[in-house]
């Protein structure tokens, strides 16, 4: 599994040595994971429910304090180094990989956090462009590293001060600030799910999140099953515009339905019975968008019950229903995703499979019995390449821990 791969750990050790060569001292090391969403797609911005799991691909941040007010940040992925003054951070993005780090530093500073100068080396192995949230991974890892470094500098400067019990970093507040960095600084309209699971993930657990209240519950994933994530290697260029259109269609549905249901603030507040009673007033396309979101929220809650009772057959059935709804009602699938789902469905030991992420390309996720993983990898990989001429990437993962310091 990626989170226990010896090669990854050896690479981390070599990066630690490189940090010493670059900056002259040993770093502390922090990491935050990528994520896959098991069920609950396009519900987050409708105040609904999602069920992600952190996965064993990470962004690692190596950090050591500086005596001045500079942030010196080197990316191992891009072989580039940038430098910023903490007292004069840029207010707008530069369209550069460093935006994700500086945006978080800016939001932490605006929230009143007293950051300290630091040297950082950043490296990530979350597959880029696969919809596994490499952006939230770097944001949360950098934010946690900067906060912990600042707290340690404060302790060193004031050895007699009263310290709070336990770790003073509030993971939910960190997730919200990282989301704000991506929304307001980087300029991407993401919901809270990605940063939240990167902050709160637990090994062997999925996370049921209420995107309105931010209440969450950890749910057991079976020890004898794996998450098989299949990258179609496709990313359609119209995805962002289509995503904005879907949001507008959901908002139109809320406006019309709220005339009859005054307490409705988002589609999360609408039941299937409400939609049956008043859906005839909606334009047909808006009706289908609403039907997906309302049905998907119900499926997430049913999936949580299925995991709680160990009913993996029911869980898998809900995954398949989710994919059909995303394909037919929300219309965010594509031929390559549908092909990947059809190939996976035919493999023995697969409980369920669906597209995951925003759609129009990216990945599917399947829950697979551990003893059938290699057959799954071979059958799906060969079948997809034979049909498309494109070799997919298949990542086999277990659920991982959220952000923290690497021992």
The CA distances from residue 153 to 66, 72, 114, 149, in Å, are 10, 17, 10, 6
Task: Extract the tokens encoding 119.
Answer: 């040297």
247-288 per-position pLDDT tens digit: 999 999 999 999 999 999 999 999 999 999 999 999 999 999
In order of start, what are the domains of the chain with their CATH numbers?
2-220 (3.30.230.10), 225-397 (3.30.70.890)
pTM for this predicted structure = 0.93
Task: Extract the tokens encoding 350.
Answer: 């697969």
Q: Is residue 135 scored above 80 in pLDDT?
A: yes
Pick the range with the lowest mean pLDDT from 100-114, 119-133, 160-174, 348-362: 160-174
Q: Is residue 8 scored above 70 in pLDDT?
A: no
Identify whether the C-beta of residue 344 lies closer than 8 Å to the C-beta of residue 336. Answer: no
10-63 per-position pLDDT tens digit: 787 899 999 999 999 999 999 999 999 999 999 999 999 999 999 999 999 999
Which residue did the predictor score with more confidence, 257 or 163?
Answer: 257
Q: What is the DSSP letter of 67?
A: S
Identify whether the C-beta of residue 396 lies closer than 8 Å to the C-beta of residue 226. Answer: yes
Nearest Cα to Cα of residue 320 among 296, 304, 286, 297: 296
How high is the pLDDT of residue 158? 74
How high is the pLDDT of residue 3? 45
Give the whole-angstrom CA distance, residue 17 versus residue 14.
5
Per-residue pLDDT, averaged over 361-373, amounts to 96
What does the radius of gyration of the chain's CA atoms come to, in whole angstroms?
A: 22
The whole-chain average pLDDT of the chain stands at: 93
Q: Is residue 9 scored above 90 in pLDDT?
A: no
Identify whether the C-beta of residue 190 lies closer than 8 Å to the C-beta of residue 196. Answer: no
Count CA atoms within 13 Å of residue 275 on its CB side: 22
Q: Is residue 406 scored above 80 in pLDDT?
A: yes
Q: Any catalytic annotation for residue 3?
A: no
Give the whole-angstrom CA distance, residue 28 versus residue 20.
11
The CA distances from residue 370 to 54, 218, 238, 367, 393, in Å, are 18, 22, 36, 9, 18
In the chain, what percentage of residues exceed pLDDT 90? 85
Nearest Cα to Cα of residue 144 among 56, 33, 9: 33
pLDDT grade, residue 354 (50/70/90)? very high
Helix (H, G, I), strand (E, B) or coil at 15: helix
- Interior/surface letters 213-230, b for 16+ CB within 10 angstroms, e for the rest: eeebeebebeeebbbbbb
Q: Is residue 2 scored above 60 in pLDDT?
A: no
- Interior/surface letters 172-198, b for 16+ CB within 10 angstroms, e for the rest: eebbbbbbbbbbebbeeebbbbbbbbb
Residue 5 CA, chain-centre distance (Å), reads 21
Q: Is residue 1 scored above 50 in pLDDT?
A: no
Q: Is residue 106 scored above 90 in pLDDT?
A: yes
Catalytic residue among 194, 269, 329, 401: 194
């Amino acid at each position: 599994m990626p989170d226990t791969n010896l090669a990854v750990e050896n690479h981390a050790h070599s990066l630690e040595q490189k940090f010493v060569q670059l900056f002259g001292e040993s770093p502390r090391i922090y990491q935050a994971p990528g994520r896959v969403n098991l069920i609950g797609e396009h519900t987050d911005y409708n105040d609904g429910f999602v069920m992600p799991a952190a996965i064993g691909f990470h962004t690692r941040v190596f950090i050591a304090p500086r005596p001045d007010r500079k942030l010196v940040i080197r990316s191992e992925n891009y072989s580039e180094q940038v430098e910023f003054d903490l007292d004069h951070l840029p207010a707008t993005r530069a369209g550069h990989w460093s935006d994700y780090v500086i945006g978080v530093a800016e939001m932490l500073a605006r929230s009143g956090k007293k950051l300290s100068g630091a040297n950082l080396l950043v490296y990530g192995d979350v597959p880029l462009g696969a919809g596994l949230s490499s952006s939230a991974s770097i944001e949360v890892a950098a934010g946690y590293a900067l906060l912990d470094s600042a707290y340690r500098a404060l302790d060193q400067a004031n050895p007699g001060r009263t310290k709070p019990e336990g770790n003073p970093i509030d993971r939910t507040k960190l997730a919200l600030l990282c989301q704000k960095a991506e929304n307001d600084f980087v300029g991407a309209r993401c919901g809270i799910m990605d940063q939240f699971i990167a902050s709160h993930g637990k090994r062997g657990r999925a996370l049921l999140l209420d995107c309105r209240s931010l209440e969450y519950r950890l749910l057991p994933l079976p020890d004898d099953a794996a998450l098989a994530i299949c990258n179609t290697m496709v990313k359609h260029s119209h995805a962002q515009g289509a995503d904005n259109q879907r949001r507008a269609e959901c908002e139109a549905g809320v406006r019309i339905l709220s005339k009859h249901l005054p307490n409705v603030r988002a589609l999360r507040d609408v039941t299937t019975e409400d939609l049956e009673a008043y859906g005839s007033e909606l334009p047909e396309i808006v009706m289908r968008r609403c039907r997906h979101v309302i049905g998907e929220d119900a499926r997430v809650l049913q999936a949580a019950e299925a995991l709680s009772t160990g009913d993996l057959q029911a869980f898998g059935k809900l995954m398949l229903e989710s994919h059909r709804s995303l394909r037919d009602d929300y219309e965010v699938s594509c031929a390559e995703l549908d092909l990947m789902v059809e190939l996976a469905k035919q493999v023995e030991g697969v409980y369920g499979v669906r597209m995951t992420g925003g759609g129009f390309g990216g990945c599917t996720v399947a829950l697979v019995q551990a003893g059938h993983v290699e057959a799954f990898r071979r059958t799906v990989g060969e079948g997809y390449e034979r049909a498309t001429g494109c070799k997919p990437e298949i990542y086999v993962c277990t659920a991982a821990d959220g952000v923290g310091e690497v021992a």
